[in-house]
Amino acid sequence: MRLGVVAVSTLAWRNLWRNYRRTMIMLLAISVGVWAMIFMTAVLRGMVDNMVTQALDTLPGYVQIHAPNYLDDPSVTHSLPAPDPSLLQVLGDPLVAAWTSRVKVPAMISSEYENRGVTLIGVDPEGEQALGFDIHDITQGRFLVGANDRGLVIGRKLLQRLDTRLGKRIVIMSQDPGNSIADRGFRIVGVFRADLESREENIVYAGRSVVQTMLGMGSEVSEIAVRGHDYRHPQVLADKIQAETDARVSSWLELDPYLSTMMRVMDGFVLVWMVVVFLALSFGLVNTLMMAVFERIREIGLMQALGMRPSAIVYQFLLESLLLLLLGLLAGNLLAVTTIYVLRDGIDLSGVAQGLEMMGAASVMYPVLQWPDLVLANVVVIVLGIATSLLPAWRAARYLPVEAIARTS
């Protein structure tokens, strides 16, 4: 089918600029729409990123290794041997940024006045810091030094609840693998803060070797936590480690189903958002094209009378619309990428939205541009834009040449 591509393209381009004002308004609308699609998506991605990273800091470890039954019953009986050479080798893989092993058991903590149930974590302090524990969260005293440190670090809230102070002694009780009670006295050497109050209330840190000795579990551990480089794709790392061990390897996507669901819902939400913005645009687009068709009925008739096929008329209007969309996309993309670049150091909302912090969201938002989102926005605009233009274009080609020309007199 010969359409006279050059002829049609020239016409489409000239016609586009015929109503300069209308075209400029439409271009403005499209670029603002595209900007909204890309920029708002980047802000959303940034917010979710922030929530996930914060949550991962409390989980720590994108991937965790446990004894097969530990997740169902996190007791000391379900423990793992310390990493063997083959596991150590995979933990040296470039995909791994850092790893550490922990003992993690339910325990009872008692001060002179109060008893409370907590989760006792026996840690290697350097490993924890490599995995994300922030030393600045220590508000009083110090963090542990080495796995043999005999001190105890507890949360601010727990300190209050137990009605005790830094430097005081407290007692921790738990079960050993033989189901007997194991207990030990500790001195509180440090107090930490956390974004979540429940962490301040429930987590206590002790040296790993000290806890292992107290519980009589030798060199066994409850959990090995591994940090990778990209939290979005922990499964590759998990699979790689799983190949080397019989223990149960889980990524954070499994460990925190709430967060992983949110991540997945985000992708759908981004698409919906883009389509909604486009729908708002599409009214303007259809209107513009319809007006162009009605204004040019006589020309359309003339072109058909001169031997241009109806399909070429459709093609001409689609091309005109495509040119408009491409120009709008170009401007919109530039605008969005520039805004995101300029705001890369964060948008400080603390002034306008004090409530955000209380909701657990950060008051500084970092827009995060993901290329697939940018591509998606462009694809949405082009595909839906062309689809929307089909109706006006088809209307244009339906006139009988004589009806169209007859509108002269």
Partner 1 sequence: MAAISCVDLCKYYQQGDAVIKGLDHVSLEIEQGSFVCLSGPSGSGKTTLLNAIGGLDKLDSGKISIDGERVDQLGKAALADLRLHSIGFVFQAYNLIPVLSARENVEFVMQVQGVSASERKQRAFRILAEVGLQGMEDRRPAQLSGGQQQRVAVARAIVSQPKLVLADEPTANLDSASLEKLMARFRELNKLHRITFLIATHDERVMSWAERRIGMEDGRVIHDALQAPV
- Residues forming contacts to partner 1 in the complex (CB under 8 A) are 2-4, 6-7, 10-11, 14-15, 18, 298-299, 302-312, 400-402, 405, 408-409
Nearer to partner 1, 223 or 320 (CB): 320
Tell me the one-letter amino acid at 388.
Answer: T
The secondary structure of residue 83, as a DSSP letter, is: P
Nearer to partner 1, 22 or 248 (CB): 22
Q: CA-to-CA distance for 105 and 319, rounded, in angstroms?
A: 67
Nearer to partner 1, 29 or 308 (CB): 308
Find out whether 37 and 31 touch, Cβ atoms under 8 Å: no
Nearer to partner 1, 41 or 304 (CB): 304
Q: How far is the CB of 4 from partner 1 (least distance, A)?
A: 4
Nearer to partner 1, 20 or 371 (CB): 20
Q: What is the phi/psi pair of residue 52, to 5°?
A: -65, -45
Q: How far is the CB of 19 from partner 1 (least distance, A)?
A: 11
Nearer to partner 1, 19 or 54 (CB): 19
Which residues, other chains included, contact 370 with Cβ-Cβ below 8 Å and sequence gap of 6+? 41, 42, 45
Q: How far is the CB of 25 from partner 1 (least distance, A)?
A: 20
Find out whether 336 and 35 touch, Cβ atoms under 8 Å: yes
371: exposed, middle or buried (Cβ count in 10 Å: 0-12, 13-18, 19+): exposed
CA distances from 322 to 10, 50, 207, 239, 317 (A): 13, 37, 65, 45, 9
Nearer to partner 1, 366 or 399 (CB): 399
Buried b / exposed e along 36-56 (16+ C-beta atoms within 10 A): bbbbbbbbbbbbbbbbbebbb
Q: Taking the CB of residue 294, how many other CB atoms lie within 10 A of it?
A: 12
Q: How far is the CB of 51 from partner 1 (least distance, A)?
A: 54
Q: How far is the CB of 299 from partner 1 (least distance, A)?
A: 6
DSSP strand pairing (138-141 vs 181-192): antiparallel
Q: CA-to-CA distance for 114 and 164, rounded, in angstroms?
A: 9
Q: How far is the CB of 48 from partner 1 (least distance, A)?
A: 49
Nearer to partner 1, 193 or 298 (CB): 298
Structure tokens at 280: 């708002």
Three-state DSSP at 278 gives helix
Nearer to partner 1, 195 or 299 (CB): 299
Q: How far is the CB of 279 from partner 1 (least distance, A)?
A: 31
Nearer to partner 1, 7 or 291 (CB): 7
199 alpha carbon, distance to own chain's centre: 23
Tell me the one-letter amino acid at 111.
Answer: S
Q: CA-to-CA distance for 105 and 216, rounded, in angstroms?
A: 13
Q: How far is the CB of 321 from partner 1 (least distance, A)?
A: 16
DSSP strand pairing (115-123 vs 203-207): parallel
For the chain, the farthest-separated pair of C-alpha atoms sits apart, in whole angstroms, at: 105
Q: How far is the CB of 333 from partner 1 (least distance, A)?
A: 29
Where does 59-144 have alpha helices with state H?
Answer: 85-91, 125-131
Q: How far is the CB of 291 from partner 1 (least distance, A)?
A: 16
245: exposed, middle or buried (Cβ count in 10 Å: 0-12, 13-18, 19+): middle
